Structure 1
Amino acid sequence: MAFPLIRTPLQQGMNSIPLTRDLLLIGGGHTHALVLRKWGMNPLPGVRVTVINPGPTAPYSGMLPGFVAGHYTREELDIDLVKLARFAGARIIDGYATGIDKDAQTVAVSGRPSIAYDVVSVDIGITSAMPDLPGFTAHAIPAKPLGTFASCWDSFRASAKAPHIAIIGGGVAGAELAMAMSHALRDKSPTVHLLDRSRVLTALGYKARQKMIAALTANNIEITEDAEVTEIFAEGLVLRNGRTIRSDFTTGAAGAKPHDWIAQTGLDLHQGFIAVDANLQSSDPAIFAVGDCAHLRANPRPKAGVYAVRQAPILFANLRAVLSGGTLRPYKPQRDYLKLISLGAKSALAEKFGTAREGPLLWKLKDHIDRKFMDQFETLAPMGAPDLPRKTALGVKEALGDKPMCGGCGAKVGRAALQNVLTDHFGDDAAEVQAGQVMSTDHLRALTHDPVVMTRIAAVHALGDIWAMGAKPQAATASLILPRMSATLQERTMTEIMSTASEVFAKAGAKIIGGHSSLGDELTIGFTITGLTKAPVTLAGAQAGDKLILTKPIGSGTVMAAEMQGKAKGADVMACLDLMTQDQAAASVILSKAHAMTDITGFGLAGHLRGICDASGVGVTLDLDAIPLMHGALALSASGVRSSLFTDNRIGAGPIEGPVMELLFDPQTAGGLLAAVAPASADATLRKLHKAGYTASIIGEITADQVFRTQ
C-alpha cells in the first residue's frame, strides 16, 4: 500500500526564512517531475522554485503506446504538474520558454515578462516535427511533444471511420505507435502504413528486429522501406518515386530533433542538443540540462526515458549543491537497459544485451513498472495542520480550522460580519466621491505563487468594482506586500508585478500613479482605483421582470480551495485562473444600460444577488440549471470541498426558498458582472456578450415580492 507524502510543519514554516535564490525548471519532463517530488519532501530553505511548462500536465512517454492503443486513459497518461508544484511549494507558469539570456540570467516566456534566475535546469524533451518537409506543419502531427500528439489522437480516434494512417519513421517509437493505432481502431478496418527512408527497426538486435517485424505483420501494418516522403497534403503524402499514399492521420516519429530556440542560447551544443558534463552542467555552470534535450559529453547515450529517470537524484543533489555552496556529484549512466516495447494488444517485447522475449507476461511487467512510476505522483498530500503547543487559549483550534486558509476572496471577512459592523457604509461596489467620479479599493491574499498571474487577477478583481458601476477606469495606486526576500529577489518580483499591472491598467484605459510596498509573511496585492461615469449603475434600480445576466462561470473559491488540498485537477485549476484574469471592460460597456449591477466576488453569487434585492426592494427567482459553472467545481463541491468563507457566506445570503446549490455561497475572485437588464433587451445583450467572448447566461428574473427563491 502506498502512503501519501505529507509536507511537515518545518516546511510549512519556511515562509519565515527569507528567499534569496531563484531556481527555474524549464519543462515538466520526467527528470524535473521527480526533482519536484524530491523537493517537496526536502526543500532547500531560501530558494524560490519556478516551473515553466506549456500546459498543466506532462505526459509520461512510457505509457503513450498504451494510451494510443486504448489501454490507458488520458488522465492515467499525464503527470499533473499543478498538483506536483503545489506539493513542492513551487510556482508553475503555463507558457512556452522561448530563450535563455545567460548574460542577463533571464528566461524569455511567451506572453509575459522575462523571468530572472540564479540557477536554471532545462528538461524540454525533443520534437519530431519536420518543418522543412512541405505540408508537414499544416497537415501532420509530430509524435513529440507528446501532449499535443495525445490530444490530436484522442480526437481522431473518436471520429475516425475506416481510417488510413501513415507513420513517418520506422524506429521503435514509430513501430510501437503503428501497432497501437492498429489495435485501437481494429473494429474500424484501419489501413496503417509505417514508412522509413532506409530500413525499419535498425536500432534493435537481429532477434528483436525479427520478432518486431513479425508483430507488425500480425497487426496488419504495411511496411514501406526506402520510402522518402517529399510532400504531405490533407488526404495523404507523396513519395520520391511518385507513389501517393492515402492518410487521414499522418504523424512524424523519425528521430529526435532539438527545439529551435536552444541554438540561440550561446551554450555549447552537440548536433543542436545542450552539451553537459558528468555533473549535468552545460558550458555555463548556472545552466543544467537533462533528459532528451541534453547530450552527455562524457558518456553519450541514446535518447531514452530510463536515463532521464535515473538523472533525477543526481540533478536534485547538484541543484541543491550549487544553490547552497556544496559539492556536485557525477552522473554515471548504465551501459544498457531493459527495453520493453508494446506490441499493440496487451503484449510486449523485451530486449537487453541482444536477447529478446515477447508475450503477455512482459506486458504485465511493463504495466507494473509504468504504473509504479506514475503512482509516485498520485500519493502526494497537501501540507498537514501545524503542530500546536501543548497549551493554547480557548478557541485556537477552532479558529485555525482543519485546512489551510484560502487565498483571494476566500480569505475575506464574511458578508454577515461586515453588514453588522458597517451598517452605514455597506452597499455599492464603489463610492461616488464627487459627481461623475467613483472610487474603490481592493486587495487579495495570493492564491497562486506566480506574481504575474496573481497581479492580473488582483487588478481585474479591483477593476471589477469600477466596471460594475458602468464607469471607465481612470487612475490607480498599488499596495503590495512581498514575502521576506533578498533585495535582488525584491527587485525581480516588483518588476514582474508592476510591469504586469501597468499592462492591465493601460489596456483598461487607466494608469498607475503611485503606491506603497512592504515586506510581510506572504504575497498580497491590492489597488485603489478611480473611475469616471456620467451615471453610475448601482445596486438600487432592479425592477420586477428584469432578467439577470451573469458574465462568468462561478466556482473559483471551490476550485482553488481544492487546489490547496491537492484535490483539483491541474487543467481545472489553469482554466479557473484563466477565467479570473479575463477582464470585464467590454462587458461593462455592453451592460451600461442595466438597471442594477454588481460584480460577483467574496460574498458569492447568493450574497451579491441579495445585495441587489435588498437595495432595490425586490425579490428574485433564480434558475439553478442556467448558472454557468467552472470545470470541476460541481464535482468538488459535491465531494465536500468548501472555501474558508463558505459558512459566513451562507449565513450572509439570508433565507432562500427552494433547492439550494452549494456553489451559490462560493466566494469568487475576479468574478463576473451580475446585471438586472430590461426584459426587452436581455436576449440582444446576451448575444453581444457572447460575441465579445464571455460565457454569459440569463440565470433568473427579478420579482416584486422581495422573496429569494430558486428553481
Structure 2
Amino acid sequence: MQQPDSPVLRDIVLIGGGHSHVGVLKRFAMHPEPGVRLTLICRDTHTPYSGMLPGYIAGHYTFDEVHIDLRRLAEYAGARFLSDEAVGIDHSAQQVLCRSRPPVPYDLLSINIGSTPRVDQVAGAGEHAVPVKPIHRFNDRWLTLLERIKRHPGTTRIAVVGGGAGGVELLLAMQYRLRKELVAQGRNPEELVFQLFTRSAQILPTHNARVRAHFERTLAARGVAVHTASEVVSVAEDRLRCAQGHWHAADEIVWVTNAGGAAWLQDTRLALDEEGFIQVDETLRSLTDPAVFAAGDIATQVDHPREKAGVFAVRQGRPLADNLRASITGRPLKPYHPQARWLALISTGDRHAVASRGALFLAGDWVWRWKDWIDHRFMSKFNDLPPMEEGAAKAPAPSRVVLDEEESAQAISAIAMRCGGCGAKVGASVLSRALATLTPAPRDEVLIGLHAPDDAAVVRVPPGKAMVHTVDFFRAFIDDPYVFGKIAANHALGDIFAMGAEAQTATAVATVPQGLEAKVEDTVFQMMSGALEVLNEADCALVGGHTGEGRELALGFAVNGLIDADGNSALRKGGMRPGNVLILTKPIGTGTLFAAHARLAARGRWIDAALASMCQSNRLGARCLRKHGATACTDLTGFGLLGHLVEMTRPSNVDAELDLAALPLLDGAEETVAAGILSSLQPANVRLRRALRDQSAWLDHPRYPLLFDPQTAGGLLASVPAERAMDCLSDLRELGYAKAAIIGHVCEPGEALEPIALKDPALTDPALTEAIPEQPVLDKQAHKA
C-alpha cells in the first residue's frame, strides 16, 4: 500500500474506469497533487479499450492486449481502487452509495461509466438478447457461444441489432472468427447465418456515402442479410420481430443499440438529458452540482453535443484531470471544446479497415495496420508502466488545496511531529463518530461492551467452557480499508477456528494515518465496518479496542474463544496419525502476489482472486474438518505451508509427504515466483528447508518457492482419516472452498532426520507429462479467445 507524502486533505472520487478516467489516473500519476487522494470505484478490474474490442472478438488480440489493468494503474497513480459498483449519490453528505460496501465520501466526484443498453424498452430483449455492454458480460456470453459452435455442428443463426459502426464492426468480427473456427475443423462455414437489423434507412448513417457503400459491398459479399428501416420491437427466445410485423429466426441476438444513462442516475440531483445522460458545461462539470463532473459516453456537453464515440472520452481525459485539479486547488476552470469532425477507423474483421472523417474515405490492409499501431500506442501508455521506485521517503511537498481556518489548523497538526503515548491516540469525538453506527454481534456473556464508557470490557465465561486466546496484528497491504478490515478480522479468527473453538469476543488495536478529522474518521469507519461484518458473521462480539495515529494503516485483534473445559474437543497440531490424508482448504500464494502487486508486476485479476480468498472465513471449513474426524489442524499464516507442516509433524512424531502437483495455487502465483518476486518474509521461512528430504533435488521445481510463501488469512491445513478424505473434500467444495485439495499424507516416522518428503507424479510417471514446463502458462483469459 502506497503511503502519501502529506496528509490527505481532499478526496477526488472517480466512478467508473472509462477512457477519460484512465487518463485522469495517468496525469495524476505523472504529477501528483499533494494533499489530494484519488479513489476509483469500479466493478471491473480490467477495462476494455473499445477501439480494440472487435479485434479481440476476431481473434487478433489477447484479452490482456485489449484491456487496461485498472488496479495496477491505480496503484501506479497512488490511488485507492475499490472493487464495487456505485448505485447512488447522497449529495447532501457528499457520499457515493455503493452496492456492497459502506458509502464513500468525496470532495469532488467524477463519473465516467459509459452508456447502458436500453434492452428494457423492447419486449423480451432483456431476457433473450445479449447487450454488448457491460463488456464483461458480453465477453462471457461470446466465449460460451464460441465453444458451443465449435462443439455442436449445425446451423446457427446470429442476429445483430444496430446498424451503426459498432454493430457492423462487431458483426464482421464475430463472423470472421466463427467461420475461421469452422474451417479449422473441416466444417462448412455456411453453417453460420448472420443478419443485421437497423431502424435507419441505411447502415452507418453518420458516415459518408463511400464508407457506407464499402461496407454494404462487404456485408453482401460475406452473405450477411441486412434489414434496413427495420426497427426491432419484440424479442423471443429464438426469434425477433420488426415493426413491419415480420418474425425472423435467431439463435443468438446481440444488442448494439438503444443506449442511455444508468438507471440509478435518475434518483440523483444531476441534470439529465432525454436519454438519461448527465448534462455538463464546457468544463465537464454538472449543470446542477458543482462538486460533480462527468465525461465520456455518460456525459452530454449541452453547448457542444456530439455522437457517442470513444475518441471523445479519450480526449476528455486531459481537460477533466486539469479541471479536477483546478477545482480542488481553487483555480479557474478551463473550457473544453470537442472537435467537430474526427477520424474513425472501422475494421472489417479480417485485418482490413476503413478510415472515415467527414468526406474522407480510405480503405485497405494498410489502414488496419495503421489502426493497429495507433491502438497499441494508446494502450502502452497505461499498461507499460515503469517499475515502482524504492528509496528514502521524501519530505512532504506543500499542498495547494484551499482549506478553511479549522482545516488549516488540523493540517498543521497532522504534518507536525506528534507526541507519543496517549498523545498519539485518535481523538475521542472522531472515534465515537466513526464507531457510532457499528453494531457488534450480541452475546449474553458480554456484560460491558463496545459502547459502554468504562475502561475495559467485562465478559462472563459460560459454565463448562475454557478460554482460547490469540492475537494478530499487521499493517495494510492494500489501499481499501474496508477490505483490509475484513482480511484482518479473518486472519485473527483463523487461530480460533483451527483450534476447533467458537469465537466469543474480540478487542481491536489500530493505527490510522494522520490527517483531517473527517478523513481519519472515515478510514476508521470503513476499516471497522469490514472487520465487524466478519466478526458478526462468526458471532464474535467486538467489545473494545484502541486506535492511534501512525504513518501506516494497521489493524489487529485479540480474540477470545470458547472450548469445552476438559480440552478434549480442541484440535491441536500434535494429533497427526500415520495414514491420515493432508487437506488444505484454500490456495496459497498471497505473499508473492502482493510483493508483485507492490512492484506493478501482478495482474489485477490475480489480486482480485487473492483478496476474495483472504476474505473467505475458515469457520465453515473448520466445522467440516471436525465433522469428518480431523485429528490435527492449523491455519496457514506467516510461516508458510512448510513451516506450519513442520509445526504439526514434530509434536505428532510423524513424517509427511507433500505432492507438489496437487498444491492449490492462487492464480498468478507460479508466474510471480518464476519472475523471482518473493515476499520479504520468504528468506526467514527458507531456513526451514533443512526439514526437507533430498531438498537439493527440488530446487528447480517451479512450485518449490511456494512452500515457503507466507500467507495472510490463509486456509486450514488438517490431517483427516484416509477413508473419510474424499467425502470431506466434496463437502468443503460444496461449502465454497472451490480449490480445497488433498495435498499429501502422513507417514510413520522414518530413519531420516528430515520429516518432510516431496513428490510430483509428473516427474516419476512419463505417461502423465513429459516434463515440468520451464515457464508457467498464463491464465486462460490471457489466451486468445
- Name the structure 1 match of 2:535: 505
Q: Which piece of structure 1 moves more, 371-380 or 199-208? A: 199-208
- Name the structure 1 match of 2:746: 702
Deviation, 1:642, is 0.8
SS where residue 478 of structure 2 aligns? coil
- Name the structure 2 match of 1:685: 728
In the TM superposition, 1:371-382 aligns within 5 A as 371-382=376-387
The amino acid across from 2:571 in the alignment is V
Distance in 2 (CA, whole Å) between partners of 1:231 and 1:654 is 70
Q: Which piece of structure 1 moves more, 546-555 or 226-235? A: 226-235
2:375 to 370, 385, 388: 370
Residues 35, 312 of structure 1: 8 Å contact kept: yes
2:590 to 525, 531, 556: 556
Distance in 1 (CA, whole Å) between partners of 2:239 and 2:670 is 43
The amino acid across from 2:207 in the alignment is L
| Pair 120,631 (structure 1): closer, same or farther in 2 beyond 3 Å | same
Deviation, 1:683, is 2.0
SS where residue 376 of structure 1 aligns? helix
The amino acid across from 2:165 in the alignment is V
In the TM superposition, 1:236-635 aligns within 5 A as 236-271=239-274, 272-282=276-286, 283-386=288-391, 436-534=466-564, 535-592=569-626, 593-635=629-671
Residues 128, 253 of structure 2: 8 Å contact kept: yes
Cα deviation per residue 1:633-674 (whole Å; 9 max; x = unaligned)?
A: 112212211111111111135320243611010011100001
SS where residue 371 of structure 1 aligns? helix
Cα deviation per residue 1:83-115 (whole Å; 9 max; x = unaligned)?
A: 101101111111211111111111111111111
Residues 646, 691 of structure 2: 8 Å contact kept: no
SS where residue 540 of structure 1 aligns? helix
The amino acid across from 1:487 in the alignment is E
Normalising by structure 1, we get a TM-score of 0.90
Cα deviation per residue 1:508-544 (whole Å; 9 max; x = unaligned)?
A: 1111111111111111011111111222211111111
State yes or no: 1:140 paired with 2:176. no
Cα RMSD after superposing both structures: 1.8
Cα deviation per residue 1:143-181 (whole Å; 9 max; x = unaligned)?
A: 122232233223322331543211111111111111111
SS where residue 217 of structure 1 aligns? helix
Normalising by structure 2, we get a TM-score of 0.81
| Pair 198,352 (structure 1): closer, same or farther in 2 beyond 3 Å | closer
Residues 473, 510 of structure 1: 8 Å contact kept: yes
Residues 182, 221 of structure 1: 8 Å contact kept: no
2:103 to 86, 94, 114: 114
Distance in 1 (CA, whole Å) between partners of 2:118 and 2:749 is 64
Distance in 1 (CA, whole Å) between partners of 2:668 and 2:156 is 34
SS where residue 231 of structure 1 aligns? strand
Distance in 1 (CA, whole Å) between partners of 2:220 and 2:175 is 11
- Name the structure 1 match of 2:461: none
Q: Which runs of 5+ in 2 are unaligned?
A: 183-188, 395-463, 760-785
SS where residue 215 of structure 2 aligns? helix
Residues 89, 96 of structure 2: 8 Å contact kept: yes
The amino acid across from 2:160 in the alignment is I
Deviation, 1:241, is 4.0
Deviation, 1:371, is 0.8
Deviation, 1:314, is 0.8
Residues 460, 582 of structure 1: 8 Å contact kept: yes
SS where residue 185 of structure 1 aligns? helix
Residues 119, 258 of structure 2: 8 Å contact kept: no
Distance in 2 (CA, whole Å) between partners of 1:380 and 1:53 is 20
- Name the structure 1 match of 2:447: none
The amino acid across from 2:512 in the alignment is L
The amino acid across from 1:709 in the alignment is A
Deviation, 1:306, is 1.1
Deviation, 1:234, is 2.9
2:30 to 24, 41, 48: 41
Residues 88, 98 of structure 2: 8 Å contact kept: yes
Total equivalences in the alignment: 656
SS where residue 479 of structure 2 aligns? coil
| Pair 649,241 (structure 1): closer, same or farther in 2 beyond 3 Å | same
Residues 57, 177 of structure 2: 8 Å contact kept: yes
Cα deviation per residue 1:365-403 (whole Å; 9 max; x = unaligned)?
A: 1111111100111221232121599xxxxxxxxxxxxxx
The amino acid across from 2:588 in the alignment is I
SS where residue 220 of structure 1 aligns? coil
SS where residue 119 of structure 2 aligns? coil
- Name the structure 1 match of 2:235: 232
2:164 to 161, 171, 180: 171
Distance in 2 (CA, whole Å) between partners of 1:178 and 1:681 is 53
Distance in 1 (CA, whole Å) between partners of 2:474 and 2:652 is 29
Deviation, 1:444, is 1.8
The amino acid across from 1:349 in the alignment is V
Deviation, 1:263, is 1.2
Deviation, 1:492, is 1.1
SS where residue 313 of structure 2 aligns? helix
Deviation, 1:250, is 1.1
1:222 to 222, 225, 228: 225
Distance in 1 (CA, whole Å) between partners of 2:757 and 2:547 is 45
State yes or no: 1:64 paired with 2:53. yes
SS where residue 116 of structure 2 aligns? coil
The amino acid across from 1:710 in the alignment is L
